[in-house]
Amino acid sequence: MTKYEQYILKLIIIYNSNGKISGKRYSVDNIDKYFEANKLKLMTLQEKGIIHIYNKQEQEPEEYNFFSSLMQDFVRQEFDKSISDPEERELVLEFDKFKINIPQQKVNMVKIMYRWFLKNIQKIIKNYPFQ
């Protein structure tokens, strides 16, 4: 199984558990769009007998389940051990009252921007004419 297929299986675990896995919370934002964009890979996983794709009703989005509960348990265990992109979906800050969730990916992006800003602030001030 390719790393890309493993990544998709981890996203299925996140999606099916509504972002709650082993006491941690993960963002489910745009996972459905990711599935839509990677329909061919999902169909390949179905052909391999790993997942089952179905619609409850014609107008609702597709759902993805594992053919075997053993496979689902295995993927969940591997998810807990691995260090890969789905961990960037882990929610660092949650404000349920305001429906605000900030995943690790956004925190990492802010850190990078902050470091760049601190590194270049003197150049910016020097080149900007204050009057």
Domains of the chain in sequence order? 3-91 (1.10.10)
pLDDT of 112 strictly over 60: yes
- On whether the pTM is more than 0.85, the answer is no
For 14, the enclosing helix (H) or strand (E) is helix 3-16
Q: Rounded distance, CA 10 to CA 78, Å?
A: 9
**CB contact at 8 A, 41 and 8:** yes
Check residue 88 and give its pLDDT: 56
Residue-wise pLDDT tens digits, 23-54: 777 778 888 888 888 889 999 999 999 998 88
